[in-house]
Amino acid sequence: MPGAETPRDPSSATPDAPASSDPSRPVHARADVDRAGSRRDRSWPPVPDALPLPVVDNHCHLDFADGDVELSVDDHVQRARAAGIDAMITIGSNREAAFWTAELVARDDRLRGGVAVHPNEAALHARGHDHEGRPLIPLDEAIAEIDRLVRGPGMVVVGETGLDVFRTSRRDEAAHAAQVSSFRAHIALAKELGLPLQIHDRDAHREVLEVLDADGAPERTVFHCFSGDAEFARACVDRGFYLSFAGTVTFKNALGLRDALGEVGLGRVMVETDAPFLTPSPYRGRPNSSYLIPLTMAQIAESTASGLEEACAAVRATTLEVYGWPAA
């Protein structure tokens, strides 16, 4: 989750466990304005041609609404299937979303889930209140809730956790320390449960590797929305980590990401949307959904000098290897 969020119902964000909400409808909304303050085009891009073989979106946020027309979870799943994306892993990256996600994946077999205290949320829990001044539970209690939720039905991954020094400055020492200790707690949890770990790494490549090297990474460690260059990709793959590419790889200025794919090839690569964020070109800024994965898969195939069918088969096999799902 890279973007700003607006809670749909601010009054519900209390320190009590969030009230259960209808898991077929999103609980957050992506901001209508981009970071520069201008209004986005909120129309849904068209559904692209279907992929020749099905792949899995291994990181999206179904709890976030976007678009001029609201899509239900079922709408997202149906559109994705029409485009050759037959399954999705949805990630709950704040407290309300974690409860929501646990409820959704427990009852919808087309989906699987992951939960964690997102690094930027870890900083807020440590401070004791959110951006609007509403109180938050202490970080250790938030992590204890994740420990419980991730053991529930339909959960396949601990994440997203890691370090974000883009939104949370390193100079804020208490906030940064909270990110590091939260990251370490999630590494330990993934190892204890034998689950994969999804890493959120924003401008913190070297330090993320340092923490993983020091603590010992879980056997299956995934860099979600991989954002490094060829050298960093090599350092990750040499450690046995997996790289998940999002729509960012299609952006005009993303030469480093395409080089990274050229460097490591298809072996440890997966695909994701991080929807509703990071919409691939040529629809950057518009709402994102799993059905737009074919645009990103086309770039993955091109940058690894492989055919689209070969790329889809490799990504699917890697997804099964990491999450044990979905079986053929």
Bridge partners (DSSP) of residue 58 are: none
At a CB cut-off of 8 Å and minimum separation 6, what does 191 contact? 216, 218
Determine, following the binding rule CB under 5 A, whether residue 1 of this chain makes contact with Zn ion: yes
Determine, following the binding rule CB under 5 A, whether residue 125 of this chain makes contact with Zn ion: no
In the numeric block, which tokens belong to residue 95? 């407290």
Q: Which is nearer to Zn ion, 97 or 301 (CB)?
A: 97
Judged by CB under 5 A, which of 200, 268, 286, 316 binds Zn ion? 200
Q: Which is nearer to Zn ion, 13 or 204 (CB)?
A: 204
List the one residue out of 289, 298, 272 whose CA is nearest residue 81: 289
Helix residue ranges per DSSP H, the chain:
73-82, 95-107, 119-127, 139-149, 173-193, 205-215, 230-238, 255-264, 293-303, 308-323
Judged by CB under 5 A, which of 99, 274, 311, 323 binds Zn ion? 274
Helix (H, G, I), strand (E, B), or coil: what is residue 306?
Answer: coil
319 by Cβ neighbours in 10 Å (0-12 / 13-18 / 19+) ranks as: buried
Q: Which is nearer to Zn ion, 269 or 301 (CB)?
A: 269
Build a one-symbol-per-residue string for 224-263: x at contacts with Zn ion by CB under 5 A, - elsewhere. Answer: ----------------------------------------
User: Which range binds Zn ion by CB under 5 A, 78-86, 143-151, 158-166, 188-196?
Assistant: 158-166
**218 preceded by cis ω (within 30°)?**
no
Q: Which is nearer to Zn ion, 66 or 274 (CB)?
A: 274
Look at strands 5-7 and 28-30 and give their pairing: antiparallel
Q: Which is nearer to Zn ion, 98 or 301 (CB)?
A: 98
Q: What is the DSSP secondary-structure string of 161-187?
A: EEEETTTS-TTSHHHHHHHHHHHHHHH
* Residue ranges in 81-120 that form contacts with Zn ion under rule CB under 5 A: none
Q: State in angstroms the smallest separation of the CB of 2 from Zn ion.
A: 6
User: Which range binds Zn ion by CB under 5 A, 22-30, 152-160, 182-190, 251-259?
Assistant: 152-160
Q: Which is nearer to Zn ion, 116 or 301 (CB)?
A: 116
Q: State in angstroms the smallest separation of the CB of 310 from Zn ion.
A: 27
User: Which range binds Zn ion by CB under 5 A, 9-17, 241-249, 260-268, 270-278?
Assistant: 270-278
The binding site for Zn ion (CB under 5 A) comprises 1, 160, 200, 274
